[in-house]
Amino acid sequence: MPRDHRPAKSIRVLLAEDQGMLRGALALLLGMEPDIEVVAQVAAGDVIVDAVLTHRPDVALLDIELPGKSGLDAAAELRDQAPDCRVLILTTFGRPGYLRRAMEAGAAGFLVKDGPVEELAQAIRRVLTGETVVDPALAAVALSAGPNPLTTRECDVLRASADGATVADIATKLHLSESTVRNYLSSAIGKTGTRNRMEAMREARQQGWL
């Protein structure tokens, strides 16, 4: 709809999505809503906070898996640096652990990308009024899944295990002793019910704990 047909006060939205075609399509579709204006688009997580502080959107619509920094980490920073900006997570990965982490980071909503744009537009309006909007199917799964059993350090060593890193590599990266790394890895393997650290990392990612 032409800008001069918009209401005097449109909802200002920042869109963070690393896939250019999807980002452009979302911006176009949301821009057709009479009361929504996409004021900024970013493709990486580490520029979200600066973009929010510059453009002052009412709602930040964030993907989770972004280059540089995850949308969940950016949401936690926005909670402290731009508390008036409501955060709505929009992701391909409807994982229970992601939902819990998003709520802990202060997000006002969590939706998966396969829903209609009309539902997304309505969610943007609802979070701006103070509501919390969560995909109902995912909410039910998250409640039954329980909390993340892994400690922060166990998550750290699993992340550092990617790409075939050795125990010595992990110890150097995290400034830990090799025996401490082995203990964390053993504990993580036990908690995830897997056979080795690579399986533990895959399971933790699948659950949204990493």
2: confidence class by pLDDT, cuts 50, 70, 90: very low
pLDDT value, residue 95: 74
Query: Do residues 30 and 79 both lie within one domain?
Result: yes
For residues 38 and 15, the answer to whether their CB atoms sit within 8 Å is yes
Could you report the per-residue pLDDT of 118-130, keeping only the tens digit for each?
889 999 999 999 9
Does residue 22 sit within a domain? yes
For residue 170, is it within any domain? yes
The domain boundary residue, chosen from 143, 172, 189: 143
**Could you say which of 126, 143, 160 is where a domain stops?**
143
Q: Is residue 190 part of a domain?
A: yes
DSSP-assigned letter for residue 108: S
Q: How many domains does the chain have?
A: 2
Range(s) of the domain holding residue 158: 152-207
CATH for 191: 1.10.10.10
| Angle, vertex CA 88, rays to CA 85 and CA 92, nearest 5 | 150
**pTM for this one?**
0.68
Please list the alpha-helical segments (H only) found in the chain.
Answer: 20-31, 48-55, 71-81, 96-104, 117-128, 136-145, 152-160, 167-174, 178-192, 197-207
Token output for 9: 């006060």
Q: Kindly state whether residue 3 falls inside one of the protein's structural domains.
A: no
- Residue 5 in tokens: 């047909």
User: Which of 143, 162, 187 is at the close of a domain?
Assistant: 143
Q: Are residues 71 and 103 in the same domain?
A: yes
One domain for residues 90 and 116: yes
pLDDT of residue 145: 59
